[in-house]
């Protein structure tokens, strides 16, 4: 399966960079691809023009395969015209004031439509399209394959992995509950899909016939070796790379990861309206104490106003991190990649 994965993606090393929505950088993505892995870039909230610009910058930095990541609509997203905007905005007012930002008015839209993003993906022609929060449509998979683009799905349960395989994806990332960032469950509530990597990966391997990539709690050679022992064909790593200077994380965010231990991270809906794992700070505590959290993506848009204005202040940022944050000790992404590669079994 390891050979199947690397051959499928045209890469040398079965290591995939976690696609950080909002924290991806061209430098880090290209470095992982140049190092033989699959660099991934998260496109959450990007419109067509920004996707095109990002892909062009990537091609200036690497000729190696890379992946672009999209969030699929779950169907529960709210629009500016439907959400009760004022209560959630008022609950965030102290955080706007702390960041020196004005309380915002509702935008025309929270997110660009998926069709617009996909059109830009087809023009960008990455080696792979990865998706979270669902199974891509049959038309999307067919168009990707027609263009020679591999499709990567993400599962937090065995049922989701089976659904993704039935939907025609080429490989599935089995994302354990230890992983940083959003819990991308789509068949059940994320609170009911908190399966750890150690339990999830072998069950997914047994359930599907496509390559399985392990994600969640993997930060060094030991985690990589364990993933392969569980039957995975590769690994996807987030926090260990997020800690490095090549990521788009702020200095404060990297320092928070460096100071974290095994019990530091929490699951919260405070920052986006969807369940996600990160390091708690003033923003998380204040929002949860206020007890008013708008649905997704309204909450994410509302908090983005003070997060952007705060300029990297770790008390007013989304400090995404996984439970293996204490193992993320390296500041250079090339060193992380070499450490991970040392855990890959010889063919």
Give residue-wise pLDDT tens across range 4-61: 899 999 999 999 999 998 899 999 999 999 999 999 999 999 999 999 999 999 999 9
Burial class (CB in 10 A: 0-12, 13-18, 19+), 333: buried
Output the pTM of the full model: 0.96
For the record, the structure tokens of 305 come out as 């106003």
Upstream peptide bond of 297 is cis (omega within 30 degrees of 0): yes
Helix (H, G, I), strand (E, B) or coil at 343: coil
Q: What is the pLDDT of residues 175-213, one digit of tens each?
A: 999 999 999 999 999 999 999 999 999 999 999 999 999
Please tell me the predicted confidence (pLDDT) of residue 4: 87
Q: Mean pLDDT, to the nearest integer, of 297-325? A: 97
For the record, the structure tokens of 191 come out as 């609170």
Helix (H) or strand (E) holding 288: helix 282-290
Q: Mean pLDDT, to the nearest integer, of 254-260? A: 98
Residues paired with residue 172 on neighbouring β-strands, in sequence order? 153, 212
CATH of domain 2-77+111-261+326-341: 3.20.20.70
CA distance 315 to 165: 40
CA distance 89 to 99: 14
Please tell me the predicted confidence (pLDDT) of residue 22: 87
Helix (H) or strand (E) holding 16: strand 15-17
Q: How confident is the model at residue 297 (pLDDT cuts 50, 70, 90)?
A: very high
The percentage of residues in the chain with a pLDDT greater than 70, rounded to a whole number, is 100
Q: Mean pLDDT, to the nearest integer, of 62-81? A: 96
Contact 197, 217 (CB under 8 A): yes
CA distance 323 to 232: 20
Name the residue with tokens 């049959």: 138
Please tell me the predicted confidence (pLDDT) of residue 346: 85
pLDDT at 347 over 80: no
Contact 145, 132 (CB under 8 A): no
Radius of gyration (C-alpha) of the chain in whole angstroms? 19
pLDDT at 263 over 90: yes
The percentage of residues in the chain with a pLDDT greater than 90, rounded to a whole number, is 97
pLDDT at 1 over 70: no
pLDDT at 2 over 80: no
CA distance 136 to 170: 12
* Average pLDDT of the chain to the nearest whole number: 97
Helix (H) or strand (E) holding 155: strand 150-155
């Amino acid at each position: 399966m390891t050979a199947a994965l690397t051959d499928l993606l045209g890469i040398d090393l079965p290591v995939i960079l976690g696609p950080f929505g909002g924290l991806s950088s061209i430098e880090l993505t290209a470095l992982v691809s140049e190092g033989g892995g699959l660099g991934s870039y998260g496109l959450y909230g990007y419109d067509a023009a920004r996707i095109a610009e990002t892909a062009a910058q990537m091609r200036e930095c690497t000729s190696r395969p890379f992946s672009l990541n999209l969030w699929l609509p779950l169907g529960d997203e709210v629009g500016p015209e439907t959400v009760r905007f004022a209560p959630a905005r008022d609950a965030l007012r102290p955080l706007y004031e702390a960041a020196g930002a004005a309380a915002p008015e509702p935008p025309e839209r929270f997110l660009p439509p998926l069709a617009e993003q996909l059109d830009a993906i087809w023009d960008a022609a990455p080696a792979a399209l990865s998706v979270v929060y669902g199974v891509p449509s049959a038309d999307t998979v067919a168009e990707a394959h027609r263009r020679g683009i591999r499709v990567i799905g993400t599962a937090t349960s065995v049922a989701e992995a089976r659904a993704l395989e039935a939907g025609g994806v080429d490989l599935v990332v089995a994302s354990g509950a230890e992983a940083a960032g959003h819990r991308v469950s789509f068949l059940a509530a994320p609170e009911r899909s908190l399966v750890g990597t150690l339990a999830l990966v072998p069950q997914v391997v047994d359930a599907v016939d496509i390559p399985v990539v392990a994600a969640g709690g993997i930060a060094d050679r030991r985690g990589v070796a364990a993933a392969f022992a569980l039957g995975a064909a590769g690994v996807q790593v987030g926090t260990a790379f997020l800690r490095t200077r090549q990521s788009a994380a702020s200095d404060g965010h990297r320092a928070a990861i460096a100071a974290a231990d095994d019990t530091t991270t929490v699951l919260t809906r405070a920052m986006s309206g969807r369940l996600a794992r990160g390091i708690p700070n003033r923003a998380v505590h204040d929002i949860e104490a206020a007890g008013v959290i708008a649905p997704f993506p309204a909450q994410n848009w509302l908090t983005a106003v003070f997060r952007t204005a705060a300029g990297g202040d770790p008390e007013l940022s989304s400090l995404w991190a996984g439970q293996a944050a204490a193992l993320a000790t390296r500041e250079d992404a090339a060193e992380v990649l070499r450490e991970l590669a040392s855990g890959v079994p010889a063919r």
